[in-house]
Amino acid sequence: MSAILEVRDLEVAFRVGPLVRRRSLLAVAGVSFDVRPGETFALVGESGSGKTTLARAVNRLQRVSAGSVNFEGRRIDTMSRGRIRPMRQRMAMMFQDPVGSLSPRMRVGDAVTEPFRIHKVEASLKEETERLLSLVGLPADFANRYPHQLSGGQARRVGVARAIALRPKLIIADEPTAGLDVSVQGEVLNLLNDLRSRLGLAMIIITHNLSVVSHVADRMAVMYLGRFVETGPTEEIFRAPKHPYTAALLSANPEPDPDKKSARISLPAEVPSLLARPAGCEFHTRCPWARDRCAKAAPRSEGRNRLVACHFPLAPNASPPEKETVQ
């Protein structure tokens, strides 16, 4: 099955600092991935790893510095504003704050049908409101409520309804369960899975919550300092991570089965600044498994369905050495 979204060697750079001493900050550094119809692809990493910047660049909310983005066979990163506007009907974005992303002055019914007015799509707004609220499991009378009258879970459902209003083919969801109770998180994730199946949606999920990833994602990419360090099928990566950073993230993920708990992998040192990227492997300053070569040469991503950017990929169930070999 051909991909609905193809991203190749994408870079996003910002100019930072005083005007006379401006420097380039590379927030997304040459990433490539595909998303297929009906698939959920997760972007995972710590805060500041570049996940949201990458997603905004894919949706043309952030200018691309290099590389390309193709959606439904058309290159969109170089499209003019006039030409990209119709494409946005087929590529929706859900923002992180479920309540804050809704206008406090707009009733729910107006919020979920606003995409029709923005894109000048003719439709019976009353019928569309009822259809959309029904799809996300909300009663029709919620159309008259304001955002402050909604719980966090209800507000998120309204955001989902708004995102699917124009029947898009791709939804980009930034931290879709942020700020929600655990039980409500499960409901929202089940809703997204159900809609993906019923509507044939492709999704990109941005999150640092690995429980979310295991619940909804078919494939995942782990980001560190704007680069992909490991990509592949979610189940395979959870079962046997190959990159030390991935292993550390997974070791910190809560495990409900006490028989499967493993020792947490502690990462020493702070995350390096994007303005002072370490030489060689950029993770070597924090990696418990680092060796001399890691400080000298950047690793290449190797593999096909499973890619890992590491000179010494981990064996299954590998434990970190007692001492680091690179300081």
Using alpha carbons, select from 6, 5, 77, 47 the residue that is nearest to residue 226: 47
Judge if 211 and 244 occupy the same domain: no
The mean pLDDT value for 246-272 works out to: 77
Say if CB 166 and CB 92 are below 8 A apart: yes
**Domain end residue (candidates: 176, 198, 224):** 224
Picking from 62-71, 261-270, 301-310, 315-324, which range would have the lowest pLDDT averaged per residue?
Answer: 315-324
Confidence of residue 317 (pLDDT cuts 50, 70, 90): confident
Report yes or no on 235 lying in a domain: no
Instruction: Check whether residue 71 and residue 198 sit in a common domain.
Output: yes
Q: Is residue 104 part of a domain?
A: yes
Edge-to-edge strand list for the sheet holding 74-75: 23-35, 5-16, 66-71, 74-75
Dihedral pair phi/psi, residue 228, rounded to 5° = -85, 125
* Residue predicted with more confidence, 230 or 260: 230
Block residue for tokens 């009733």 = 107
pLDDT tens by residue, 114-160: 999 999 999 999 999 999 999 999 999 999 999 999 999 999 999 99
What is the predicted pLDDT for the residue at 65?
A: 94
Do 22 and 167 lie in one domain? The reply is yes
Task: Say whether pLDDT at 274 is over 60.
Answer: yes
Whether residue 52 sits in one domain with residue 154: yes
284 and 175 in a single domain? The answer is no
Of 162, 196, 224, the residue that ends a domain is 224
Question: What confidence category does residue 324 fall into, taking pLDDT thresholds of 50, 70 and 90?
Answer: very low
Domain total of the chain = 2
Q: Does one domain contain both 291 and 248?
A: yes
- Asked whether residue 62 is assigned to any structural domain, the reply reads yes
Of 224, 257, 281, which closes a domain?
224
Residue 277, Cβ neighbours under 10 Å: how many?
Answer: 16
Residues 131 and 40 in one domain: yes
pLDDT (tens digit, 9 = 90+) per residue, 9-47? 999 999 887 766 778 899 999 999 999 999 999 999 988
Q: What does the alpha-carbon distance between residue 136 and residue 108 come to, in Å, rounded to a whole number? A: 13
Cβ pair 290, 284 in contact under 8 A: yes
- Indicate whether 173 and 304 sit together in one domain: no
Beta-strand (E) ranges in the chain?
Answer: 5-16, 23-35, 40-44, 66-71, 74-75, 91-94, 170-174, 202-207, 219-224, 227-233, 301-302, 307-309
**264 inside domain:** yes
In this structure, are 186 and 301 located in the same domain? no
Instruction: Name the token pair of 153.
Output: 């879970």
Compute CA distances 26 → 13, 129, 165, 273, 299, whole Å: 4, 42, 35, 10, 18
pTM confidence score: 0.91
Residue found by looking up tokens 């040192």 in the block = 269
Q: Is 316 helix (H, G, I), strand (E, B) or coil?
A: coil
pLDDT at res. 21: 73
Q: What is the reported pLDDT for 323? A: 52
For residue 326, being part of any structural domain is answered with yes
Q: What is the mean pLDDT of the chain?
A: 89
* pLDDT score recorded for residue 325: 44
- Whether the pLDDT of residue 261 is over 70: the answer is no
Pull the structure tokens for residue 103: 């206008």
CB 210 within 8 A of CB 33: no
Most confidently predicted of 19-33, 254-268, 286-300: 286-300
User: Is residue 314 in a domain?
Assistant: yes
Report the distance separating Cα 249 and Cα 230, nearest Å. 12
Residues 218 and 309 in one domain: no
Q: Is residue 175 part of a domain?
A: yes
Give the span between the Cα atoms of 163 and 110, in whole angstroms: 13
Based on the fold, state whether residues 45 and 112 are members of the same structural domain. Answer: yes
Domain ranges, residue 25 = 5-224
Answer yes or no: is 31 within a domain. yes
Confidence of residue 110 (pLDDT cuts 50, 70, 90): very high
Label residue 208 by pLDDT band (50, 70, 90).
confident
* Co-location of 70 and 10 in the same domain: yes
Q: What is the dihedral of CA 113, 115, 118, 122, to 10 degrees?
A: -70
Under 8 Å between Cβ of 245 and 210: no
The CATH number that applies at residue 130 is 3.40.50.300
